[in-house]
Structure 1
Amino acid sequence: MRLPPELTLPDSMVPAEPPDPPATPRDAATVVLLRNGPHGPEVFLQRRVRGMPFAGGMTAFPGGGVDERDEEARIAWAGPPPSWWATRFGCGEEVARALVCAAVRETFEEAGVLLAGTAPDAVVTETDRYAAERQALVAKEISLAEMLDEHELVLRADLLRPWSNWVTPALEPRRYDTRFFVTAVPEGQRADGFTGEAAEAYWSRPTTVLETWRSGECGLLPPTWVTLTELAACSDVTEVLNSDREIDKTIPRIVHRDGAWRVVLADDHDRP
């Protein structure tokens, strides 16, 4: 996919001196929350607080880095096993398990949506009862495994679908190897913006967000722009979840071209 020429990076996001050697990417998970609207699928987005170390002020999906406690194995699990996720994302099983756990944890921390249930075929419909645990997760006082174990909940990996894999360009001092997931908000639950990392949170059609970006009202990083463009081509949430995608690792480059910093993808035939 060719990125549009208007998609440039602020000078503040590009370091004056690139790190040498490049930083090692940290595993991370991003989750695209979906619901059906009157005119097609809608996505849940957050405008990140300005001044954050990574992507401050940008509009993005919920997500974050894998925590070392996301690798805890004692967890009730429903759906595709870590080996299946490892094959889809091209990583080891321990990393795959941690990525799925991070996706569930980050979705709960940042959006209040909990992909878990009291049985392998059930999902919680009201999450306010776990408000204290949500704050404890944010403060890293407990792990996701401890929370699920205490309340006898099963992690619903089957509610997630793999979507893409983006790696932060080598020029950046803070890098992530981010796996993107998609999921529908479970019936009875609602996404919220009760997180210290977001200045605002809202639902919108992908096409509307892209129009807002074109008018300069919001900032998008390339992975977000590409994901929104792909979702805009889908008629409903079912089509998104049923997409059989091949997950390739996308590692863009940053170049200075025509007076601005631009992200270049491997299939950009215009690259120098």
Structure 2
Amino acid sequence: MGSAPVSEAAAPQPIRPAATIILTRQGPGGPEVLMGQRGAGAAFMPSKYVFPGGAVDASDAQVPLATPLDPLCQARLRGDIAAEALAAAALRELFEETGLALGVPGTWPVAPPEGWAGFAARGLRPVADGLRFVFRAITPPGRPRRFDARFFLADAAQVAGDAEDFSAACDELSHLHWISLTEVRSLDLPFITEVVLSEVTLLMQGGVQPGVPFFDNSGTVPTFRRID
């Protein structure tokens, strides 16, 4: 009787660079953040409430930003992918998933790359000077998708148009809404989102970060450090 075939170990999931925007504003009950719910059938974090964000596209590196990132953010974003591409990805994902554009009126000096035609069609160019790099986290092994995600804080005052108008959003996130920092933990949140919200609360209350928190799960041993 032959022996049963030995199953091969599953190939490790690649870690994709990603970017997320935590859009904030002052509401009647204090600081608010914009959240949306992922679909129940999503492969990654189904049914969870998250910030708008996603993987970096190759075309994001070709986006001519109307205003650059803050020099400190650029320095802290050092790594194997350009800081400008991460900023562009965050702005594109915000636009795709919510219909909100962080931009200023202007004509693109080049043809808009893939994924940016709708943004350019509004007569806007993306701005990055209002983005603040506040968190980085790499998804632990064993998850169906893995990302090296950078989280940016941004003020809704930079939105071109009505920050309540989600009519141009794609269907990736549902139940898009503004919610106060005092109520947001009543939502079904991923663990990492809860951790990021603690940092956001600190900053919105005037606190100072001693470097950007970084949950690094790229190796066999999880590590935490701060990026100076």
Query: Quick check: 1:177 aligned with 2:177?
Result: no
Correspondence 1:67-216 to 2 at 5 A: 67-72=57-62, 75-80=64-69, 85-92=73-80, 94-118=81-105, 142-144=114-116, 153-186=124-157, 188-191=161-164, 192=166, 194-210=169-185, 212=186
Change (3 A) 1:244 1:198: same
Aligned-pair CA distance for 1:152: 5.9
Instruction: Give unpaired runs (5+ residues) of structure 2.
Output: 1-6, 107-111
TM-score (norm 2): 0.76
Q: Which has the higher contact order (CA 8 A, sep 6+)?
A: 1
Q: Which has the higher helix share?
A: 1
The RMSD of aligned alpha carbons is 3.1
User: Which residue matches 2:4?
Assistant: none
1:90 positional shift: 2.9
**Deviation string for 1:217-259 (max 9, x for gaps)?**
x3211221012223334555xx48xx55522431359xxxxxx
Please tell me whether residue 38 in structure 1 is matched to residue 25 in structure 2.
no
CA distance in 2, matches of 1:148, 1:106: 11
Query: What's the counterpart of residue 3 of structure 2?
Result: none
TM-score scaled by length of structure 1: 0.65
In the alignment, is the contact (CA less than 8 A) between 2:69 and 2:84 conserved in 1?
no
Residue number among 16, 24, 48 corresponding to 1:26 in the alignment:
16
Give the unaligned 5+ runs of structure 1. Answer: 1-16, 120-136, 213-217, 254-263, 268-272
Aligned length: 206
Output the amino acid matched with 2:24.
Answer: L
SS of the residue 1:80 aligns to: coil
Query: 2: CA distance between counterparts of 1:26 and 1:65?
Result: 6
| 8 A Cα contact 1:45 1:202, kept in partner | yes
- Distance, in Å, in 1 between the alignment partners of 2:35 and 2:203 is 18
Structure having the higher strand fraction is 2
